């Protein structure tokens, strides 16, 4: 699986894991508080019902005449229904609930009271709860049975609406938790992503670095088959030199694999700049020739003073520039190598009459992974060569720049301190 896909998948999994745990905790706590709040509300309902019923029973025990108006007021204020039986006979007042669902509840209470349950008693019918209380009041001239019923319909509706509000709150909080987890896991995985990007960069860099000497070796080996001495020996020498360069590159790349940044250590030694350029010329003569490009070199008559440079690194820069010139110059073109020594500075110049570089891209080409538009890029290149060259020259305290070749093409100039 592609690494970026793996990271995305891990991010999504981590998001759901973290958010899932948080959601379970938040939901458990919310529903616990909801339960406690429902219990309290119910206890309040029972208490209010008990108070209303107790005052009703007391009043009835004290009154000799019970007026329907008084009962009606009491029912309205306490949201209850009352039925009274005098010595086993229904009051006329009872008729108003006869045949209704409340009337059925009264009948249920009378049946239940024979089992002598504890009052208040909770009954339910068709999904609605009713708090009920039956009381037998003994009077001088017999007894009175008083039953109070309190429908919990409104209370149940209130609980349902509270539950809905809680559920909505939990859903919004869950969504928020998912978003927060997604953001946080993204931040958590960022260092891994950077590390992975560096690794990819390293692999591309390594293959780019190795490809140049390898293509020289393959061309020389091919040419060796047909060549005769002493030409053959020259090819063999080039193969040996490039083989050695590859071996050095591999030695350099391995420690680079362990570091996150592309860093170059420069080991300067005294060297002859002309010999350096001649070696590069020798190395690329055949690949240029194979593409039908003429590669030539001009060295001033005045010998350049020995300079302190990292020979291998500068050879690497020249290789990158010449390889690019070959890649971006069509067959029949021409590449020119030269060396200058001016104002205490050493210059290597690689000039071609190839496809050239538009002005707006001249700065961009030195950035890592920058590649020209599709029509102008060489397939198989990673856009690393010039950035590597730029870093190496910079590490020497020099500059790598590009300009147009008069008449078309590109001219790269390596400026180095000449001591």
Nearer to ligand ADP, 33 or 369 (CB): 369
**Distance of closest approach, residue 403 Cβ to ligand ADP, in angstroms:** 11
Strands 294-298, 334-342: pairing kind: parallel
67: CB partners within 8 A, 6+ apart: none
Nearer to ligand ADP, 154 or 378 (CB): 378
Helix ranges (DSSP H) in 259-328:
273-290, 311-327
**Distance of closest approach, residue 2 Cβ to ligand ADP, in angstroms:** 22
Q: Which stretch binds ligand ADP (CB under 6 A): 1-9, 261-269, 290-298, 373-381?
A: 373-381
Contact 291, 325 (CB under 8 A): no
CA distance 289 to 291: 5
Q: Is 377 a residue that touches ligand ADP (CB under 6 A)?
A: yes
Q: Is 363 a residue that touches ligand ADP (CB under 6 A)?
A: no
Beta-carbon count within 10 A of 46 CB: 15
Task: Report 378-417 residues binding ligand ADP (CB under 6 A).
Answer: 378, 381-387, 410
Count of residues interacting with ligand ADP (CB under 6 A)? 23
CA distance 3 to 201: 13
CA distance 335 to 287: 12
C-alpha separations of 225 from 218, 219, 222, 296, 342 in Å: 11, 10, 6, 24, 43
Phi, psi of 227 (to 5 degrees): -75, 160
The DSSP letter of residue 86 is: E
Q: Is 326 a residue that touches ligand ADP (CB under 6 A)?
A: no
Q: What is the CA radius of gyration of the chain?
A: 48
233: CB partners within 8 A, 6+ apart: none
**Distance of closest approach, residue 355 Cβ to ligand ADP, in angstroms:** 5
**Distance of closest approach, residue 193 Cβ to ligand ADP, in angstroms:** 24
Contact 299, 338 (CB under 8 A): yes
Q: Which of 311, 312, 339, 371 binds ligand ADP (CB under 6 A)?
A: 371
Q: Which of 109, 256, 277, 325 binds ligand ADP (CB under 6 A)?
A: 325
**Distance of closest approach, residue 300 Cβ to ligand ADP, in angstroms:** 23
**Distance of closest approach, residue 402 Cβ to ligand ADP, in angstroms:** 8
Q: Which two tokens stand for residue 122?
A: 């909770």
390-396-397-398 Cα dihedral, nearest 10 degrees: -50
**Distance of closest approach, residue 25 Cβ to ligand ADP, in angstroms:** 53
Q: Which of 20, 186, 243, 372 binds ligand ADP (CB under 6 A)?
A: 372
303: CB partners within 8 A, 6+ apart: 274
Phi, psi of 302 (to 5 degrees): -70, 125
Q: Which stretch binds ligand ADP (CB under 6 A): 49-57, 73-81, 160-168, 348-356?
A: 348-356
> Residue of minimal CB distance from ligand ADP?
372
Task: Return the sign of the alpha-carbon dihedral for residues 402, 407, 409, 411.
Answer: negative
Q: Which of 19, 220, 365, 400 binds ligand ADP (CB under 6 A)?
A: 365
x/- letters, 283..322, toward ligand ADP (CB under 6 A) = ----------------------------------------
Q: Which stretch binds ligand ADP (CB under 6 A): 80-88, 101-109, 253-261, 363-371?
A: 363-371
Q: Which of 287, 354, 398, 418 binds ligand ADP (CB under 6 A)?
A: 354
Beta-bridge mates of residue 335: 295, 352
Q: Which of 211, 232, 376, 394 binds ligand ADP (CB under 6 A)?
A: 376
Q: Which two tokens stand for residue 229?
A: 């001495």
CA distance 65 to 86: 11
Q: Which stretch binds ligand ADP (CB under 6 A): 195-203, 250-258, 272-280, 372-380?
A: 372-380
**Distance of closest approach, residue 256 Cβ to ligand ADP, in angstroms:** 17
Q: Which of 7, 34, 121, 355 binds ligand ADP (CB under 6 A)?
A: 355
Residues at the interface with ligand ADP (CB under 6 A):
324-325, 328, 352, 354-357, 365, 370-372, 376-378, 381-387, 410
């Amino acid at each position: 699986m592609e690494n970026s896909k793996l990271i995305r998948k891990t991010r999504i999994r981590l998001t759901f894991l973290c958010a899932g745990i948080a959601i379970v905790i938040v939901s458990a706590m919310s529903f616990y508080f909801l339960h406690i709040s429902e219990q309290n509300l119910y206890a309040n309902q029972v208490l209010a019902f008990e108070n209303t019923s107790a005052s009703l029973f007391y009043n009835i025990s004290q009154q000799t005449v019970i007026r329907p108006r008084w009962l009606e007021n009491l029912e309205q204020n306490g949201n209850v229904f009352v039925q009274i039986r005098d010595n086993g006979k229904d009051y006329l007042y009872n008729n108003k609930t006869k045949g209704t669902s409340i009337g059925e509840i009264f009948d249920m209470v009378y049946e239940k009271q024979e089992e002598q349950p504890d009052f208040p008693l909770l009954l339910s019918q068709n999904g609605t709860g009713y708090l009920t209380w039956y009381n037998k009041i003994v009077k001088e001239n017999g007894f009175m049975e008083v039953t109070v019923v309190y429908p919990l319909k409104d209370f149940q509706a209130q609980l349902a609406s509270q539950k809905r509000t809680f559920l909505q709150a939990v859903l919004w909080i869950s969504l928020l938790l998912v978003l927060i987890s997604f953001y946080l896991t993204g931040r958590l995985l960022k260092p891994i992503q950077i590390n992975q990007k560096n690794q990819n960069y390293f692999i591309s860099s390594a293959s780019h670095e190795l490809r140049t000497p390898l293509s020289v070796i393959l061309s020389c080996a091919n040419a060796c088959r047909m060549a005769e001495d002493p030409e053959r020996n020259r090819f063999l020498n080039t193969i040996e030199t490039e083989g050695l360069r590859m071996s050095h590159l591999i030695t350099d790349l391995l420690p680079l694999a362990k570091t996150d940044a592309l860093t170059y250590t420069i080991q300067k030694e005294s060297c002859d700049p002309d010999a350096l350029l001649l070696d590069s010329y020798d190395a690329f003569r055949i690949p240029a020739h194979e593409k039908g490009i003429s590669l030539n070199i001009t060295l001033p008559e005045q010998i350049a003073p020995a300079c302190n440079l990292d020979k291998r690194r500068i050879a690497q820069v020249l290789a990158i520039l010449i390889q690019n010139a070959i890649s971006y110059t069509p067959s029949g073109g021409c590449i020119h190598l030269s060396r200058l020594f001016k104002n205490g500075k050493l210059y290597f110049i690689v000039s071609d009459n190839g496809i050239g570089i538009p002005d707006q891209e001249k700065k961009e080409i030195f950035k890592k992974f920058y590649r020209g538009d599709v029509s102008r890029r060489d397939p198989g290149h990673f856009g690393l060569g010039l950035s590597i060259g730029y870093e190496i020259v910079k590490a020497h305290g020099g500059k790598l720049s590009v300009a147009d070749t008069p008449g078309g093409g590109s001219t790269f100039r390596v400026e180095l301190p000449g001591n």
